[in-house]
């Protein structure tokens, strides 16, 4: 169970961001979302915003590690609120259902600490972090 999220305004302030209507709107949407959201989904809920501003806002959040993103089934980015407190990166795998296309954050699963090491990546590549996407059937589509 997730702790109650701080208000969008406090969230922005505590992360050193000026509050703008778009930032507040995006954070509020992501705080209440039960699954990662695409930009078109967000645009459907936000009033008087343009696509470019929403992308720019999301890029700012991703850079500040307030939000993480995952590729959806159709290769578009989906966004979810990150964990600002425990880890700098939100190290959970994501799940893509190949039947219904739903993408979920598997918050209770974790990527093992030695995961990158176990891949035996060639020398010369500096790996920053892994992104794990699991494919299969979600509980709703499973039998
Ligand atoms: Zn499914
Ligand atoms: Zn996630």
Worst-scoring range by mean pLDDT, 22-26, 60-64, 73-77?
73-77
What mean pLDDT is predicted for residues 113-127? 90
**Nearest ligand, measured from the Cα of 67:** 2
Q: Tell me if 93 is assigned to some domain.
A: yes
pLDDT digits (tens, 9 = 90+) for 95-104: 999 999 999 9
Number of domain units in the chain: 1
**d(CA 2, ligand 2 centre) in Å:** 13
Domain that holds residue 129: 8-136
C-alpha of 1 from chain center: 17
Closest Cα partner for 109 from 132, 140, 76? 132
d(CA 18, CA 14) in angstroms, rounded, equals 10
Between the CA of 64 and the centroid of ligand 1 the distance, in Å, is: 31
Q: What spacing in Å lies between the alpha carbon of 105 and ligand 1's midpoint? A: 14
Long-range contacts of range 45-53, CB-CB < 8 Å, 24 or more positions apart?
46/22, 49/21, 49/22, 49/25, 53/22
Specify the pTM.
0.75
What pLDDT, on the 0 to 100 scale, is given for residue 3?
57
What's 14's domain CATH number?
1.10.10.10
Ligand of minimum distance to the alpha carbon of 77: 2
Which ligand has the minimum distance to the alpha carbon of residue 102?
1
What's the CA-to-centroid distance between 142 and ligand 1, angstroms? 7
d(CA 70, CA 85): 20
pLDDT tens profile 30-61: 999 989 999 999 999 998 899 999 999 999 99
Determine, yes or no, domain membership for 143.
Answer: no
């Amino acid at each position: 169970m997730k702790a109650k999220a701080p208000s969008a305004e406090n969230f922005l302030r505590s992360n050193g961001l000026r509050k703008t209507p778009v930032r507040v709107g995006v954070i509020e949407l992501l705080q209440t979302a039960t699954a990662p959201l695409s930009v078109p989904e967000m645009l459907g809920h936000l009033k008087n915003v343009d696509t470019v501003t929403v992308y720019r806002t999301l890029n700012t959040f991703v850079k500040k590690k307030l939000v993480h993103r995952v590729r959806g089934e159709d290769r578009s980015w989906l966004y979810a609120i990150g964990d600002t407190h425990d880890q700098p990166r939100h190290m959970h795998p994501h799940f893509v259902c190949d039947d219904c296309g739903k993408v979920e954050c598997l918050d209770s699963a974790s990527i093992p600490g030695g995961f990158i090491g176990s891949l035996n990546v060639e020398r010369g590549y500096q790996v920053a972090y892994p992104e794990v996407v699991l494919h299969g059937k979600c509980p709703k589509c499973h039998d």
